[in-house]
């Protein structure tokens, strides 16, 4: 593909536009600095924009994220590149970094798209929707999700048959298959890495049956099922469309488990599972919800009270290690577990199982840097060179880290961490002016 070469300058580059990167960009922009915010996805917002409600306040995630995202999008000091990646970062001097930004074609001119969805309607193709974690389909011409930003269509070129129906339907003629990959040379004074985390893939633990037993889903999929922008008209089992009434959560899936290469605690899974259990009891008042746990780690402000609130609502907590899950002919699931308090092997039947999968590092971020080494910690999260006194500093002067890129973290901590990273970045720019 042909590439066009441009060169651009900003004060700061923020890599990753989740809640941490977005907050860091806003802090820099509000102080008068020009920021380039880059995300590989088609929308800003990271994982938070996908959530239902948030622990421990049960505020609606979209209601918190949407105003923030629109402030970021409209800020005159912030330029956003979605569908883009940064590479070949070189430190040229104490106040200059150069990098390459690769912008993939969206095949839609965002500024002219009115999000009318006529292209979606016209497109004959349907494939699994990655933003609904595969629970439902979407077209090859699609608006990523209803609260995405930029709110504009995109073309999934890998699944497009180039039939042209979307183009013919588009009233503003903003679909353009002549768009090509752009490569841009970037110069900045400081960099914030806010590339977040990955989730453990439960296919790596076949004994839980994920992928094989269709009523075993992940917590992120359940997060979508209970969100206002959910895939189904109500909460349903993906195996047969039944409204579930005996739901089980399995905690620590791929966390605190050296046998799958992740010995550490993911810190958020206990609390997001307790949150979902409360939301499910509200949505399905007749349902029984059981949480199988090893330890409940409710260490944050208001977390223990949130846990007790769930108990008070009738959520059943069982201290038990799940050995294996098997499936009955009717799609129900048999959980075989060690009841830790009784020291006995037990079995229980549920009609839907949610795996609370752990937080993993977003690997490969160190590979973005060319002439300096970004050190990672022993678990491959971005290393903090002074963990206690300056937690946002990395091994490279002028490069700071924010949010879950440093390790498992909830939203309030990600925002605090973004505050620290942006303050450090501002002070770095001033000191090296």
Ligand X SMILES: Cc1cc2nc3c(=O)[nH]c(=O)nc-3n(C[C@H](O)[C@H](O)[C@H](O)COP(=O)(O)OP(=O)(O)OC[C@H]3O[C@@H](n4cnc5c(N)ncnc54)[C@H](O)[C@@H]3O)c2cc1C
Which chain residues interact with ligand SF4 by CB under 6 A? Answer: 108, 113-119, 122-123, 125, 140-141, 153, 155, 160-166, 169-170, 172, 174-175
3-state helix, strand, coil in the chain (%, to 5): 25, 30, 40
Site string for another protein, 5-44 (x = CB under 8 A): ----------------------------------------
Partnered with residue 128 across adjacent β-strands are: 137
Applying the rule CB under 6 A, the residues between 167 and 206 that interact with ligand X are 194-197, 199
What is the spatial distance between Cα 176 and Cα 107, in angstroms, rounded to a whole number?
5
Applying CB under 6 A, among 14, 25, 28, 38 the residue interacting with ligand X is: 38
E strand intervals along 45-140 = 53-54, 59-60, 78-81, 84-93, 96-103, 126-128, 137-139
* Joined tokens for residue 298: 């409710």
Residue 101 and residue 183 in contact, taking contact as beta carbons nearer than 8 Å: yes
* Joined tokens for residue 268: 């958020």
Applying CB under 6 A, among 12, 21, 166, 291 the residue interacting with ligand X is: 21
What is the spatial distance between Cα 97 and Cα 298, in angstroms, rounded to a whole number?
41
Q: Which does 279 bind (CB under 5 to 8 A by kind): another protein, ligand X, ligand SF4, none?
A: none
By C-beta, is 115 or 264 nearer to ligand SF4?
115
* Joined tokens for residue 297: 């780690």
Applying CB under 6 A, among 10, 12, 25, 41 the residue interacting with ligand X is: 41
By C-beta, is 37 or 160 nearer to another protein?
160
By C-beta, is 137 or 263 nearer to ligand SF4?
137
Q: Shortest gap between Cβ of 146 and ligand SF4 (angstroms)? A: 12
Q: What are phi and psi of 210, to 5 degrees?
A: -60, 135
What is the spatial distance between Cα 324 and Cα 90, in angstroms, rounded to a whole number?
49
Site string for another protein, 368-387 (x = CB under 8 A): --------------------
Residue 36 and residue 10 in contact, taking contact as beta carbons nearer than 8 Å: yes
Q: Shortest gap between Cβ of 227 and ligand SF4 (angstroms)? A: 22
By C-beta, is 58 or 136 nearer to ligand SF4?
136
Q: Shortest gap between Cβ of 155 and ligand X (angstroms)? A: 19
Applying the rule CB under 8 A, the residues between 225 and 244 that interact with another protein are 231-233, 236-243
Query: Would you count residue 320 as binding ligand X (CB under 6 A)?
Result: no
Applying the rule CB under 6 A, the residues between 74 and 103 that interact with ligand X are 85-86
Alpha-carbon radius of gyration of the chain: 23
Applying CB under 6 A, among 51, 80, 235, 348 the residue interacting with ligand X is: 51
Angle value at C-alpha 254, between 288 and 364, nearest 5 degrees: 135
E strand intervals along 121-245 = 126-128, 137-139, 141-142, 154-155, 182-188, 190-193, 197-199, 216-218
Residue 139 and residue 108 in contact, taking contact as beta carbons nearer than 8 Å: no
Site string for another protein, 152-181 (x = CB under 8 A): ------xxxxxxx-xxx-x--x-xxxx---
Burial environment of residue 18 by CB neighbours within 10 A (0 to 12, 13 to 18, 19 or more): buried
Applying the rule CB under 8 A, the residues between 330 and 359 that interact with another protein are 331
3-state secondary structure of 141: strand
Q: Shortest gap between Cβ of 411 and another protein (angstroms)? A: 29
Burial environment of residue 430 by CB neighbours within 10 A (0 to 12, 13 to 18, 19 or more): exposed
Query: Would you count residue 287 as binding ligand X (CB under 6 A)?
Result: no
Which residues would be at the binding site for another protein (CB under 8 A)? 121, 124-128, 135-140, 158-164, 166-168, 170, 173, 175-178, 214, 231-233, 236-243, 245, 286, 331
Which residues would be at the binding site for ligand X (CB under 6 A)? 15-21, 38-41, 46-48, 51, 54-55, 85-86, 194-197, 199, 219-220, 223, 268, 272, 275, 362, 403-404, 409-412, 414
């Amino acid at each position: 593909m042909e590439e066009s070469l441009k060169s651009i300058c900003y004060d700061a580059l923020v890599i990753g536009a989740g809640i941490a990167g977005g907050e860091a960009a806003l802090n820099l922009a509000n102080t008068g600095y020009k920021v380039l915010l880059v995300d590989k996805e088609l929308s800003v917002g990271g994982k938070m924009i996908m959530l239902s409600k948030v622990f421990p306040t049960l505020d609606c995630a979209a209601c918190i994220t949407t105003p923030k995202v629109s402030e970021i999008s409209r800020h005159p000091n912030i330029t956003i590149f979605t569908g883009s990646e940064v590479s070949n970062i070189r430190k040229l001097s104490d106040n200059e970094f150069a990098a390459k930004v690769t912008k993939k074609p969206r095949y839609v001119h965002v500024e002219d798209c009115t999000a009318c969805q006529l292209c979606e309607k016209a497109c004959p193709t349907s494939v699994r929707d990655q933003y609904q974690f595969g629970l439902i389909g979407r077209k090859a011409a699609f608006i990523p999700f209803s609260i995405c930003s930029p709110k504009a269509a995109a073309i999934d070129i890998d699944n497009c048959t180039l039939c042209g129906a979307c183009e013919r339907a588009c009233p503003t003629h903003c679909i353009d298959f002549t768009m090509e990959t752009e490569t841009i040379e970037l110069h900045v004074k400081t960099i914030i890495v806010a590339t977040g985390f990955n989730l453990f893939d439960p296919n790596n633990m076949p004994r839980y049956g994920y992928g094989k037993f269709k009523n075993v889903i992940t917590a992120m999929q359940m997060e979508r099922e209970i969100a206002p922008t959910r895939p189904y008209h109500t909460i349903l089992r993906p195996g047969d469309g039944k409204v579930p009434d005996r739901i089980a959560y399995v905690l620590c899936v791929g966390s605190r488990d050296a046998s799958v290469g992740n010995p550490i605690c993911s810190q958020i899974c206990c609390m997001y599972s307790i949150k979902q259990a409360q939301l499910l009891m509200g949505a399905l008042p007749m349902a029984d919800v059981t949480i199988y746990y090893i330890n409940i780690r409710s260490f944050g402000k208001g977390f223990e009270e949130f846990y007790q609130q769930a108990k008070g609502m009738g959520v059943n907590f069982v201290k038990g290690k799940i050995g294996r899950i098997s499936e009955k002919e009717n799609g129900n699931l048999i959980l075989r577990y060690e009841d830790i308090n009784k020291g006995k092997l037990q079995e229980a039947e549920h009609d839907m199982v949610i795996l609370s999968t752990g937080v993993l590092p977003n690997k490969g971020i160190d590979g973005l840097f060319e002439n300096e080494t970004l050190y990672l910690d022993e678990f491959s999260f971005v290393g903090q060179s002074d963990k206690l006194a300056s937690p946002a500093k990395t091994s490279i002067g002028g490069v700071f880290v924010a949010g879950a890129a440093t390790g498992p973290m909830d939203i309030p901590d990600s925002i605090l961490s973004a505050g620290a990273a942006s303050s450090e970045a501002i002070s770095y720019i001033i000191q090296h002016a």
